[in-house]
Structure 1
């Protein structure tokens, strides 16, 4: 009697009982099969990194008696329609063409038969560019002097780097940027009209790059204002022309006034594109004074003053002849009376001396 305790798969095979003596020899054969669960199992690779859009291939093998059944699953999800599985002779290959970031996770190869069941785990990491990206707000209107705040976020593997640009200009010293865990915030305090324009949030990693655009309008009062000329001298009867300009957002309203008087019917005013021209034809001396150009919008109001002097023509004064003669003879007559009185006084003094 042959007894083999705790038999293993290695013990399967043909056993021979040899019966013999000096006369003869007989051999009796017995074939024994050992049933065993999966052994010599292998999953390859156990860790894999693939780029989004590439193909994932996992291979799993093992031996058992009866032959194993090999199947696949992914932790946290069901079998997918895009899985291609081929199995034969104790080996199975799982292929996923055009893999996406959703396919990241732990894949399980299940090898089993009626004796036992074994699971092998493989970690799959899908490398992908920025996804679920967002810039907020994408359009904004802020007043000059306020604070502009932009928020940008996205996810990727490897984690993204996030940076900011403004079209047509470089990073400014007054930009405050804070970034962490796939999110970045740009803050510009005390914003000026120069900050208006398109801002770009750039989210990138080694796989891909994404740009998000936001357009921002800064509301500001009148700037770069000019009144020309600020002092002018014109001859009576000529034309006066004053030009006034300025820029603002919203566009400015430009009007005119003259200190101490109302708008005149003979004023001709033309205004367009932040510029206004005041013309006064055949100007008179009454038009001398200070003219005011008023540039305003909902944000602010500015006044520019210009001094206008109207030069009058010399006037010819006609004086009557009698008046002229009187004007000439009166001083001579007074002088003659003075001489005669003086002479008379001397004669009286002379007579008194001889009495």
Structure 2
């Protein structure tokens, strides 16, 4: 038998083996399937399981995802527990069959969950569940935004709020009719939006909220505010005008919801004596003539409408004439005169300016400015058939003035110098600015205020101010001008002082700055020991007292600084450094407070060098005293008497040394040790020398 025949005989066996192997391979395919629905609804706090079953492999790796984030993983039948995400361990558990169990599930666990099974060599399979966690719908309220819908508004909104609950479906109704999205209504989220509300949208609105476990319907009556409509104002009886002493009625009404509240206003005051819009005027006087305003207010919508009615009461004008003068093109003068009211209107004129021009009620006259009008009082003559009156106006050229300057730092770090020039004038003076021979206009560097009285100069660099030519402000009106020229200077302190308190523990530094100095701040510097804390200790670790250091920083407008606490037994020195942003000016004078500094090293060296010289001088003094003493002793020899016939009486004033010798003999030598005493040991008052009384000596020969 050949091998081919042997193979042919074994063919059925080979086919059977291949069939068995193929069947086993088919049974080894990894499969996962749900046990129950994949859409799961549950109440908050319930226990539930997303159940699965699998086949085709033993001990696969199972991983559960919420959305795309893994919340737990485990190898089936492993000896170690499943690995659950930290924020889910109290809720989630992976069962031994791979199912995911929830214990007391919170509402935040709503979402899609995917289980993924993975086995080496068999690939990965997955299955997705949808989990909806619901709360019982409770405590639903329905509100309107704004609280009172108003006709003519763009929209108003009805919105529901819940203390608790999850809504799966909502139905909005108006007067029992279901509402759908369209041009008038829009349902979005928890809101119903009504576009272009009007008075016909008044009615009952309701919303029904549902989920698989509960439902609730809430109602709200909505009133749309409207009005006031156009007011109807009447004066009865109808007449073209009223005379003083007449009586009449003013009435005012308008439609609206709620019904508008009327008010009558005259001369800016609310009139109290009216009822439901009807105002009775009896014995009307000229002061009651003019415009009456009926104001109608909707108390809820706060909408207001007004309508005027003018009462003409013939009588003299009200008040007195009013005069003024203004500039025309900064070249001419326009005099104005006004006397309001009156029937007929008063005739107004300026006789000193023109004999032919006049006007009624309000009159103005433009004239060419001239020197003779400066400080001249012009009278307006107001003529009425019953009364004549006048008012006066005086035009003035700009007066002498002093510019003021302020320095600050802008948000972008630029130094800003603001110069203000204001001159008393009538008409008001217009200010122009120049730098050197060029006019200043508003731009990136210069900003001129709307009334032209202020010029703001901006720059990052202090040299821009110091190297610039002089600035000039000119105040001008048609009658003349005044100008001031000034040059800005760097940060400077013109004067400073120091004032200590009684105990020497607190000082106040004050300083002054020149009017044109550009200063944005001050550094307060100190040299000496550190300041004390409130407990008497040094407030910071001791630093070198031989150098100045900054202890305070003050803004540019500051002119004083308080420093405390100082040790009254120590010596301090203070000075102020003016600054223009990062540029320091010259320091102020140094102010010292304290007992003193003691002897410096050079002073001690000088004293040491002077000791030998002092000893030599002392020896010379002692020698001189000895010689004087010896000479006096030699001069006391026996003298021969003179003749008694020649008797003279002399009155003498002996020397202090001789007197002492006569009275007490020789004096003790001086205490040379006192020469070496310290100044404090020698600082006693010297005895005052009192000369002795005169002595009469008679000599007889």
TM-score per shorter chain, which class? 0.3 to 0.5
Larger proportion of strand? 1
Structure possessing the higher relative contact order (Cα contacts under 8 Å, 6 or more residues apart): 1
Task: State the TM-score, normalized to the length of structure 2.
Answer: 0.25
Task: State the TM-score, normalized to the length of structure 1.
Answer: 0.44
